[in-house]
């Protein structure tokens, strides 16, 4: 796999025509969840709907965007590996973060193994202005494109949550849900990186990249899923250009 930093000259020349937002808990993969797999059946179904919707939008290419420790364009994407979660598949040497491993799994599940796509990550701690610059550089050469954005909400929704219980978490997640349901770009761009980090939010930077990439368009937004089954907020949404 060849990794390159995204060049500054990589600008939007054609419109983003559709976007989907999905979360990336490893438990979304039934083989990892094992006996608990039915608990996230509704989430899987919502992701299927969202991904198939953007695939039928007229987009000629798809970019799967996640977050990691750095901002990288994966020129030759693979599905990565779930071996750290006990599933002996893929290549454990593949340096693909969980966000993209789950994203690839969801695309392959919804669209089939032969569907092609590109992959990129944005640094999880990227400031908002950096996310805006990144989003404005995304796109494909010459064709309408779609974006699949991988990101979780807060991980502090109750005593069973990874970050325990934080009273700020639910209002934060409710605001994100409203923003995704209405394509409120300003609300997403206004997410506080410090508060987001304190609430263990994995989607803040990718959502802000989405907001920048979607600027200048009119969007029909649908919130397909909004729940926190394990104390972590999961959202599924679709945006279609109108």
What tokens were used for 66? 């996640």
Tell which residue, 173, 234, 162, has the closest CA to residue 200. Answer: 162
Tell which residue, 56, 53, 192, 216, has the closest CA to residue 131. Answer: 192
pLDDT for residue 85: 86
pLDDT for residue 167: 98
CA pair distance 183, 205, nearest whole angstrom: 16
pLDDT of 46 higher than 90: yes
Contacts of 134 (CB under 8 A, 6+ apart): 6, 71, 122, 126, 209, 212
pLDDT tier at 226, thresholds 50, 70, 90: very high
Summarize the confidence of residues 47-69 as an average pLDDT: 96
Structural domain count, the chain: 1
What backbone torsions phi and psi does residue 22 show, to the nearest 5 degrees?
-140, 155
Contacts of 110 (CB under 8 A, 6+ apart): 47, 48, 51, 52, 55
Q: Which residue has the higher pLDDT, 113 or 110?
A: 110
CA pair distance 82, 21, nearest whole angstrom: 21
pTM for the whole thing?
A: 0.91
CA pair distance 13, 114, nearest whole angstrom: 26
* CATH code (residue 196): 3.40.830.10
Q: DSSP character for 96?
A: -
Contacts of 159 (CB under 8 A, 6+ apart): 165, 231
pLDDT of 80 higher than 90: no
Q: Which H/E stretch holds residue 240?
A: strand 234-241
Whole-number percent of the chain with pLDDT over 70: 88
pLDDT tier at 79, thresholds 50, 70, 90: low
In this structure, of 9-23, 53-67, 192-206, 214-228, the range with the lowest mean pLDDT score is: 9-23
Domain, as residue range, for 23: 3-241
**Per-residue model confidence as pLDDT tens digits over 130-180:** 999 999 988 756 689 999 999 999 999 999 999 999 999 999 999 999 999
CA pair distance 40, 32, nearest whole angstrom: 12
Give the chain's mean pLDDT.
90
pLDDT for residue 91: 61
- Provide the sign of the torsion angle of the four alpha carbons 90, 85, 176, 186, taken in this order: negative
Alpha carbons within 13 angstroms on the beta-carbon side of residue 188 total 28
Tell which residue, 119, 126, 153, 149, has the closest CA to residue 210. Answer: 149
What backbone torsions phi and psi does residue 123 show, to the nearest 5 degrees?
-60, 135
Contacts of 41 (CB under 8 A, 6+ apart): none
């Amino acid at each position: 796999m060849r990794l390159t930093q995204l060049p500054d000259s990589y600008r939007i020349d054609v419109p983003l025509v559709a976007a989907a937002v999905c979360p990336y808990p490893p438990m979304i993969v039934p083989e990892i969840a094992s006996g608990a797999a039915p608990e996230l059946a509704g989430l899987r179904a919502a992701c299927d709907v969202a991904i198939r919707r953007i695939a039928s939008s007229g987009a000629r290419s798809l970019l799967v965007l996640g977050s990691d420790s750095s901002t990288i364009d994966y020129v030759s994407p693979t599905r990565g590996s779930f071996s750290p979660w006990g599933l002996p598949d893929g290549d454990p040497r593949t340096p693909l973060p969980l966000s993209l491993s789950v994203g690839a799994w969801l695309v392959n599940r919804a669209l089939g193994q032969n569907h092609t796509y590109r992959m990129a990550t944005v640094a999880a701690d990227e400031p908002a202005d950096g996310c805006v610059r990144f989003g404005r550089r995304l796109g494909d050469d010459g064709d309408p494109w779609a974006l699949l954005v991988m990101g979780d909400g807060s991980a502090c929704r109750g005593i069973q949550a990874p970050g325990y219980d934080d009273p700020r978490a639910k209002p934060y997640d409710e605001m994100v849900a409203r923003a995704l349901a209405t394509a409120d770009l300003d609300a997403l761009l206004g997410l506080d990186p410090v508060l987001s980090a304190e609430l263990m939010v994995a989607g803040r930077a990718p959502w802000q990249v989405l907001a920048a990439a979607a600027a200048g368009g009119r969007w029909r937004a649908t919130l397909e899923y909004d729940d926190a089954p394990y104390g972590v907020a999961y959202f599924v949404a679709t945006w279609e250009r109108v």
